Structure formats: C-alpha cells, structure tokens
Amino acid sequence: MNVKIFDLERDHKDIKKDLVQIFENILSRGEYILGREGEAFEHAFAAYIGTRYAIGVGNGTDAIRIGGLACGVTAGDKFITTPNTYIASVMALSVQGLLPELCDIENETYNMDPERLEEVLKKQKGIKLCIPVHLYGHPCRMDEILDVCRKYGVKVLEDACQAHGALYKGKKVGTFGDAAAFSFYPTKNLGCYGDGGMVVTNSPDVYNQALMLRNYGQTAKHVHTIEGFNSRLDELQAAILRFKLKKLDEWNERRRQIARLYTDALKETPLRLPHEESWAHHVYHLFVVRTEKRDTLMKYLNERGVSTLIHYPTPIHLQSAYHHLGYTKGTFPVAEKASGEILSLPMYPSLREEEVLYICEEIRKFYKQ
C-alpha cells in the first residue's frame, strides 16, 4: 500500500466542480484584490471564530507579523514564544527588528508551559508580546498564559495557524488574545490553493492598524499614514476559503475519527500517542507520535510505502539563523528531547480506514521485530 503524508488531490476530489465554478465566477467578475469575496470571507471567518474583526493577508507569516505589529510592538521590543514551532513564529517579527525570547514546553501537549513562561518574564525585562502556538491543533492553556501575561503587562498574539476550529474550554482558539494569526497554507485544516492568512481580533485599534499594515499603510487611496506591506488575501483564495469554511467542522470531525482509529490500534505499542486534555477539542492538524526509535521507524515505514514527516526536527534556538540569541543545546530540554523523538503520521480527511489500519499493522510489526 502507498500512503501519502498528505493527499490534497484526493481531499479535493469531491468539491472539484464547486471549485471550478468559483474560479469561473471570479474570472467573469474581473475583481481580484480587496473585493467583495475577500470582505465576505472576512465576515464569515470572524463569525466562525467568534471575533468582531478578521483581516485577510497574504500568508500565515504575514498574519503573525501584521498581527504582532498591530498590537503595538516595534523594533527593539522583545517577544516570547516556544522553540519547537515552525520558524515563521519567530522570523515574522525578528526580521522587523524585534528580539525573540523563548521558553520551554509542556511534555504532553508540546505547547507553551505557563510556569516556564512566568520564569522568563520574571527575569527578562522588556518583553512586550507573547505568542503561544496551538501546536498540531491542540489548544494552549490560555487561562494560565493570559494570567501570567496580564501580571507582567504583556500582550498576547495567538498563533493559531495549525488550529482552525480547535476549542479551549468550549471556545474557539483565536478569541483569547489581543489578536490571533491563522494560515491557509494548502495542507492546513482550512487551506487554499496557494498562500493565504488571516488576523482576527476584537480590538478596533488592532483592526484598523492591521488594515493599514496589509495595504502599504494606506488610510485612503494614495494616502499613506504609516509604513506598511503589500499583503492582501486575493479574491480567488477568499472565495475558495469561504466555500470550504462551511465544511471545516465536518473535516475536523473526520480528523478526530482518524485519530481515534490510530489510538485504538496503537495503544498497545510503545509509541507515545497524542494527548488531548479534558478541556480541549483537538483538531489534529497533525497526528504526532513519539519514540526513541523515531529514525528507524521512519525508514521502516517509508520502505513499506508510508510517508511520514518530522514537525520539527531542529528547535529554533539551535537553528543557525538564531545562534546570535546565545542559547545553547540543553537550554530547553523538554523541547529538545521531543524534537529527537516526534514523528508525524499521515493525517487528512480523505485518509481511508484501511490505510490507517495498514499503517498501524506495520508499526506493530516493527515493534515485534
């Protein structure tokens, strides 16, 4: 059997006719940037998440950059996130002259540890923004993180790029901080056909600042109030995303069904399986297992037609781009140990039951050898 880590062609097969019709509608309308489709999707996405505002931008990285800057941070300010996220969580703002700080993670969810966060905020003065990452689709401990950040006067930008539709204590992620960033990269739970992103917020000030930042700093045509970017969600992607948004809950539930299949079939193996807290609604952007035999298992599965990936093999503080921060190996032991053991198994709505069972059978065979 040949099982891909992602299979976008199969995922989209059932909606192909709808997508073609959307494309034809956009072509016939002749409106491609900052038009009615973008505005309609912004309203629909804000309503889905539960925020007052949503601002479409060019990609998830720009959503973090524009969301962070709209919260009022500037070059020279410090911000904090975790070392085991995609590098965009840091690079989006570090390239704007902001200074990254990092804190270690929880051992079970791989998300920001609120206790470690407070330890850093106690020691490091000048941190203005915290970016908790809802990694793999599991929510962070937002109550504890918000309590710590309020105590030290730190604003919060949720990185929800992997957590479309995830719930923390019954409320969607993206509604807790001063703002939140989402990515619509094609493999996300809600993905487009290229790049796309969204900033959501309940703050009129953040909203208005983000509107200017995404469009050259304009308040009106040819009136540039601040320096900004060219980062707009185009009409075609917005129209596709608005259509797909109606199916997101269904697709997320399918991911949860697949996760249960994996869990039931692998619970007797030595693998550490994904953890879901009682207060969480995990949307399984990725299904990440953990084993000290990660590299051997990865090779074994690949030889048997099963594609896997590692999200992410090298923590940010050990990347060459961030050696100047002065962190060394051993600084964040929980994140470093996890990065050497995690493995992402195939996970997408059109993954078939027989494929999941095949993967699990091969893993059981691996451990019997």
Q: Considering the chain, what is the average pLDDT of its residues?
A: 98
Report the pLDDT value the prediction gives residue 107, as an integer from 0 to 100.
97
Nearest to 92 by CA among 1, 179, 186: 179
Report the pLDDT value the prediction gives residue 228, as an integer from 0 to 100.
98
Residue 106 vs residues 17, 43, 116, 142: alpha-carbon distances, Å: 44, 35, 9, 13
Q: How far is 105 from 84, CA to CA, in rounded Å? A: 8
The residues that bridge with 42 in the sheet, in sequence order, are none
Task: Write down the pTM of the prediction.
Answer: 0.98
Confidence category of residue 202, pLDDT binned at 50, 70, 90: very high
Q: What mean pLDDT is predicted for residues 141-145?
A: 98
Rounded to 5°, the CA angle 122-125-130 comes to 80
Report the pLDDT value the prediction gives residue 112, as an integer from 0 to 100.
98
Domains of the chain: 8-101+111-245 (3.40.640.10), 248-368 (3.90.1150.10)
* Token code pair at residue 253: 């539930």
Nearest to 128 by CA among 104, 97, 105, 106: 97
Q: Per this entry, what is the length of the chain? A: 369
Residue 98 vs residues 69, 78, 138: alpha-carbon distances, Å: 10, 6, 27
Confidence category of residue 221, pLDDT binned at 50, 70, 90: very high
Per-residue pLDDT of 267-279, as tens digits, reads 999 999 999 999 9
Question: What is the percent of the chain where pLDDT is above 70?
Answer: 100
Report the pLDDT value the prediction gives residue 362, as an integer from 0 to 100.
98
61: which residues sit within 8 A by CB, 6+ positions away? 88, 91, 92, 183, 197
Residue bearing tokens 């027989």: 354
Q: How far is 276 from 259, CA to CA, in rounded Å? A: 11
Per-residue pLDDT of 33-55, as tens digits, reads 999 999 999 999 999 999 999 99
Q: How many other C-beta atoms can be found within 10 angstroms of the C-beta atom of residue 121?
A: 20
**Sheet of strand 171-172, all strands in order from the earlier edge strand to the far edge:** 171-172, 167-168, 280-281
Q: How many other C-beta atoms can be found within 10 angstroms of the C-beta atom of residue 248?
A: 17
Confidence category of residue 251, pLDDT binned at 50, 70, 90: very high
Report the pLDDT value the prediction gives residue 131, as an integer from 0 to 100.
99
Report the pLDDT value the prediction gives residue 341, as an integer from 0 to 100.
98
Report the pLDDT value the prediction gives residue 342, as an integer from 0 to 100.
98
State which amino acid sits at residue 261.
L
Q: What mean pLDDT is predicted for residues 127-140?
A: 98
Residue ranges in 215-341 assigned as alpha helix (H): 235-245, 248-266, 294-303, 333-339
Per-residue pLDDT of 263-316, as tens digits, reads 999 999 999 999 999 999 999 999 999 999 999 999 999 999 999 999 999 999
3-state helix, strand, coil in the chain (%, to 5): 45, 15, 40
b/e code 281-318 from CB counts within 10 Å (16+ = b): bbbbbbbbbbbeebeebbebbeebebbbbbbbeebbbb
What are the DSSP calls for 164-215, one per residue? TT-EETTEETTSSSSEEEEE--TTSSS--SS--EEEEES-HHHHHHHHHHHB
Nearest to 195 by CA among 240, 229, 158, 227: 240
